């Protein structure tokens, strides 16, 4: 997928994609990338967005895509997940030939002996190389190996930048395979922010499923800051709540993204109400006190309506005088993907603890960001700022987080 995005970028063409089938029980975040026009697509399409390749939109069935190829040029990735949905690529090639749609095949070649160097070349023997060699940096971003040094754009600095500085140690609460291979946006966005702040970065991957209130201090003490990422796997919530509670008590900088914000707010609601019987309804449908409830506000049972899905680009209004306002201004556009909102009965108890709502949607019914004034950095955003980041264009929230981590680590 990333090599198709690189090829589309090099040729100045749009990217189109076919239906894919993933095992979402093993990889719940495989289809969690949000497009600006409100589509939920495979997470690997992040790389097309980072290169500013024209919008890929929703998946197209083979016949529709092949028909459009008669009047426009574009690039199509073909991944094993496409083969599971559609069958082998040869079938697609045969359909294109039957429709008299021109098609040029390229193959991706991975050389394990050169630290993951990848080339894209014409499918025929001895065909010309279509793209320069490339490899991923330690944070998953793709680097063109023909350049002598990293430059803004697709090339990051973080592999070798500022060796004289002690790297900032960040705990990313998620398994490494999840954050690298299934949903790579958070790791890449943190590296973008570290580059923007001229800070070397050392990421530690901490599985949320292995964290609890008893071991959080021992596991997280060595880190300078904590990132609670988004995701669709509700088994991560308990560990995220434990990490947020630890960060609150130790005053260690922490940022929460989507599910991460929900976990942060839930952690403080438990402290405010002095009970652990507070939880996300999505993760614990029978919880006594729901911290996050369905967006439509309907009750459970026979009268429940389908969940509203807030998806795509949304404009939020930010409270003047807040830290978030200093970062983003009066309004800001975020990419959203959620069906639950903060329980409207909780802002009071949260505020009593020092955690306030600092951004809302246009209806004022959805809390889009929370922050603690009397904490080095305790800010969560309901949207996905990591999806609006790229090398050379880091998101301001993550830049501010890196700056707070630097101050804390001194």
Q: Roughly how many angstroms between the first and final C-alpha of the chain, as a whole number?
A: 40
What order of strands is seen across the sheet that includes strand 168-173?
A: 201-206, 168-173, 225-228, 254-257, 378-381, 367-372, 355-360, 310-318, 331-338
Sequence-distant (6+) residues with CB within 8 A of 80 are: none
Lowest mean pLDDT among 7-11, 185-189, 325-329: 7-11
How far apart (Å, rounded) are the C-alpha atoms in residues 312 and 232?
Answer: 16
How far apart (Å, rounded) are the C-alpha atoms in residues 265 and 279?
Answer: 10
pLDDT band at 214 (very low <50, low <70, confident <90, very high): very high
How far apart (Å, rounded) are the C-alpha atoms in residues 74 and 336?
Answer: 27
Sequence-distant (6+) residues with CB within 8 A of 54 are: 14, 15
What order of strands is seen across the sheet that includes strand 278-280?
A: 278-280, 289-294, 340-342
Instruction: Inform me whether the pLDDT recorded for 124 exceeds 90.
Output: no
> What size, in residues, is the chain?
410
How far apart (Å, rounded) are the C-alpha atoms in residues 5 and 231?
Answer: 23
pLDDT over 90, % of the chain? 78
pLDDT over 70, % of the chain? 89
Sequence-distant (6+) residues with CB within 8 A of 345 are: none
CATH top-level class of 168-409: alpha beta
Lowest mean pLDDT among 54-68, 150-164, 259-273, 274-288: 150-164
Sequence-distant (6+) residues with CB within 8 A of 216 are: 242, 243, 245, 246
Domain residue ranges of the chain, discontinuous segments joined by +: 2-103, 168-409
Residue 301 CB burial class (10 angstroms; 0-12, 13-18, ≥19): exposed
For β-strands 310-318 and 331-338, DSSP reports them as: antiparallel
> For the segment 220-267, what is each residue's pLDDT rounded down to a tens digit?
999 999 999 999 999 999 999 999 999 999 999 999 999 999 999 999
């Amino acid at each position: 997928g990333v090599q198709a995005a690189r090829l589309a970028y090099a040729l100045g063409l749009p990217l189109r994609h076919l239906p894919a089938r993933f095992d979402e029980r093993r990889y719940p975040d495989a289809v969690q990338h949000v497009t600006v026009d409100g589509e939920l697509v495979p997470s690997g399409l992040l790389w097309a967005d980072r290169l500013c390749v024209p919008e890929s939109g929703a998946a197209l069935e083979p016949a529709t895509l092949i028909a459009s190829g008669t009047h426009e040029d574009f690039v199509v990735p073909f991944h094993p997940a496409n083969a599971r949905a559609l069958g082998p690529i040869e079938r697609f090639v045969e359909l294109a030939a039957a429709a008299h749609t021109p098609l040029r095949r390229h193959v991706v070649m991975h050389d394990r002996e050169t630290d993951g160097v990848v080339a894209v070349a014409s499918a025929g023997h001895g065909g010309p190389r279509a793209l320069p060699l490339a490899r991923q940096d330690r944070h998953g971003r793709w680097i063109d190996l023909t350049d002598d040094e990293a430059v803004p754009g697709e090339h990051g600095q973080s592999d070798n930048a500022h060796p004289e500085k002690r790297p900032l140690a960040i705990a990313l609460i998620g398994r490494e395979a999840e954050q690298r291979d299934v949903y790579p946006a958070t790791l890449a966005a943190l590296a973008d922010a570290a580059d923007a702040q001229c800070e070397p970065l050392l990421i530690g991957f901490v599985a949320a499923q292995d964290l609890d209130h008893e071991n959080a201090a021992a596991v997280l003490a060595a880190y300078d800051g904590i990132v609670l990422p988004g995701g669709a796997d509700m088994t991560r919530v308990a560990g995220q709540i434990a990490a947020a509670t630890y960060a609150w008590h130790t005053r260690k900088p922490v940022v929460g993204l989507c599910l991460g914000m929900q976990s942060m707010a839930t952690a403080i609601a438990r402290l405010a109400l002095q009970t652990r019987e507070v939880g996300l309804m999505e993760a614990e449908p029978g919880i006594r006190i729901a911290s996050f409830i369905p967006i439509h506000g309907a009750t459970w049972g026979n009268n429940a309506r389908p969940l509203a899905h807030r998806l795509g680009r949304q404009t939020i209004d930010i409270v003047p005088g807040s830290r978030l306002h200093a970062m983003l201004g009066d309004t800001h556009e975020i990419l959203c993907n959620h069906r639950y909102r903060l329980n409207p009965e909780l802002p009071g108890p949260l505020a009593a603890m020092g955690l306030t709502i600092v951004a809302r949607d246009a209806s004022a019914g959805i809390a889009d960001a929370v922050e603690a004034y009397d904490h080095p950095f305790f800010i969560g955003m309901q949207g996905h700022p990591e999806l609006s980041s790229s090398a050379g264009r880091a998101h301001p929230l993550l830049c501010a987080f890196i700056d707070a981590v630097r101050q804390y680590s001194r």
